[in-house]
Copies of this chain bind each other. A is one copy, B any other.
């Protein structure tokens, strides 16, 4: 097997876009779809997709759309791996917040060095998910599936990452803020109070008690 072919920055961005549009499965995606995702013009996509096809990383049939080859998928997964590892690094080691990491990770994911990524992975303690709760592919490209659930639907004893709210009214957000619950936090479900459906949960080493109404408005991402 030859080492991964050299891809330009731009080529890598297209591969990632096609990957994300195809939702990780190898779905065929449209030229216009890619153009929108990349904030570019359809004609540019056609040009690039032809080139990627020559390189053997996508399957392209004019007017019929484009999908990643096996090789293309490997590259996409490697990029996703790098992106998410860097996100963990930024949050855990450099005090970035949940919503600041994407732009920087978008740059860092293009750095080419196998050793760098392997060592970064080790340095971070081989994390399984990124700060948004999304799974980090292994070196070989395997990764766990995750699902999004409301907190009140999650089994006792499992933990997940807070990824969103159902109710985004100011009072609710204020409540979360007061209780130091933020997006990106890992939440462990300790116990359910059957009497009123309330929950005992643990957020960053602090145990708190939340009503069922709160629980049914918080989305967690959990490893399936």
Residues in chain B near residue A96, CB distance under 8 A: 115, 119
Spot the interface stretch: A56-64, A106-114, A185-193, A201-209: A106-114
Contacts of A93 in B (CB 8 A): 123
Residue of B at shortest CB range from A95? B119
Complex-state Cα separation, A123 to B124, whole angstroms: 14
Q: Are B100 and A107 in contact (CB under 8 A)?
A: no
Asked if residues A94 and B112 are in contact (CB atoms below 8 Å), the reply is no
> Given A108-B111, A111-B108, does the pair A90, B116 have CB atoms closer than 8 Å?
yes
Pairs across A and B, CB under 8 Å, 9 listed? A90-B116, A94-B119, A94-B120, A94-B122, A103-B113, A104-B111, A104-B113, A108-B108, A111-B111
For A123, the chain B residues whose CB sits under 8 A away are: 93-94
Is the CB–CB distance between A113 and B107 below 8 Å? yes
Please tell me the number of chain A residues within 8 Å of chain B, measured between CB atoms.
19
- Chain B residues with CB under 8 Å of A103's CB are 113
Specify which of A96, A116, A119 lies most central, judged by the most chain B CB atoms within 10 Å of its CB.
A116
Contacts A96-B115, A107-B112, A111-B111 known; 15 new A-B pairs at CB < 8 A: A90-B116, A94-B115, A94-B116, A94-B119, A94-B120, A95-B119, A96-B119, A100-B115, A103-B113, A104-B111, A104-B113, A104-B115, A104-B116, A107-B111, A108-B108
Q: How far is the CA of A90 from the CA of B95 in the complex (A)?
A: 19
Q: In the complex, A95→B123 CA distance in Å?
A: 9
- Report how far A122 CA is from B93 CA in the complex, Å: 10
Contact with B along A120-135 (1 / 0, CB 8 A): 1011000000000000
Q: Which residues of B contact A112 (CB under 8 A)?
A: 107
- Measured CA separation A224–B177 after assembly (Å): 50
Write out, one digit per residue, whether chain A residues 181-222 have a CB within 8 A of any chain B CB (1) or not (0): 000000000000000000000000000000000000000000
Q: Which residue of B lies closest to A110 (CB)?
A: B107
Bound CA–CA A115/B96 (angstroms): 8
